[in-house]
Amino acid sequence: MIRAALVGLGKMGLSHLAILRTHPEIDVVAVCDTFGMLVNGLNKYTGLKTYNDFDEMLDKEPLDAVLIATPSRFHGAMVKQALDKNLHVFCEKPFCLDVAEGRELAGLARTKGVVSQVGYHYRFLGTFIEAKRLLASKLIGKVHHIRAEAYGPVVLRPKGMTWRSSKAEGGGCLYDYACHAIDLVSFLHAVPNRVEGTILNKVFSTDVDDEVYATFFFPDGATGQLAANWSDESFRKMSMQITIWGTNGRMRIDRQEIQIYLKEESDSSAGFRRGWNTHYTTELTEPVWYYLRGEEYSMQIDHFARCIKDRNHLPVSSFETALQTDIVLNKMIEDASIVRAIDDTNEGASPSRFKKVPKRGIAASFKRLLRRP
Partner 1 sequence: MDRILFGDNQFFGVNHMSEEKARQQAARFQDLQAIIDVLDIVYEEGIRVFMCTTQDRMVDVCEHFRQQKHRYPGFKFYPCMPYAHKYANAVTEYGLLGALQRFLPSSSKFAAMWKGSVSVAKRDVEGIAQILIDSEMNMFRGLETPVIFLQNVVCDLLLGLGYKDGFRIFADHVRRKYNAEAGFITMNLPRLLDVLDELGVDNPIICSNINKIGFRMCGGIDLYEKTIATRKFRPIAMSVLASGALRPREAIEYVARQKKIESIVFGASSRANIKQTKQLINELSAAN
Binding positions for partner 1, rule: CB under 8 A: 10-11, 14-15, 17-19, 21-22, 35-38, 40-42, 44-48, 153-155, 160-162, 164, 234, 236-237, 239, 241, 254-257, 280-283, 285, 287-293, 295
**Long-range contacts (CB closer than 8 Å, 24 or more residues apart) made by 175-179:** 175/72, 175/94, 175/97, 175/329, 176/230, 177/150, 177/151, 177/152, 177/212, 177/228, 177/229, 177/230, 177/238, 178/150, 178/212, 178/226, 178/228, 178/329, 178/332, 179/93, 179/94, 179/120, 179/325, 179/329
Query: Is the bond preceding 94 in cis, omega lying within 30 degrees of 0?
Result: yes
As measured in angstroms, the least distance from the Cβ of 125 to partner 1 is 13
Pick from 232, 227, 231: nearest CA to 242: 227
Alpha carbon distances (Å) from 26 to 122, 177, 303: 22, 29, 12
Nearer to partner 1 (CB atom), residue 41 or residue 107 = 41
As measured in angstroms, the least distance from the Cβ of 190 to partner 1 is 26
As measured in angstroms, the least distance from the Cβ of 255 to partner 1 is 8
As measured in angstroms, the least distance from the Cβ of 56 to partner 1 is 21
As measured in angstroms, the least distance from the Cβ of 57 to partner 1 is 18
Nearer to partner 1 (CB atom), residue 50 or residue 318 = 50
Nearer to partner 1 (CB atom), residue 18 or residue 99 = 18
As measured in angstroms, the least distance from the Cβ of 275 to partner 1 is 18
Pick from 76, 79, 87, 65: nearest CA to 16: 65
Nearer to partner 1 (CB atom), residue 40 or residue 86 = 40
Nearer to partner 1 (CB atom), residue 37 or residue 270 = 37
For the chain, give the number of residues: 373
Nearer to partner 1 (CB atom), residue 140 or residue 155 = 155
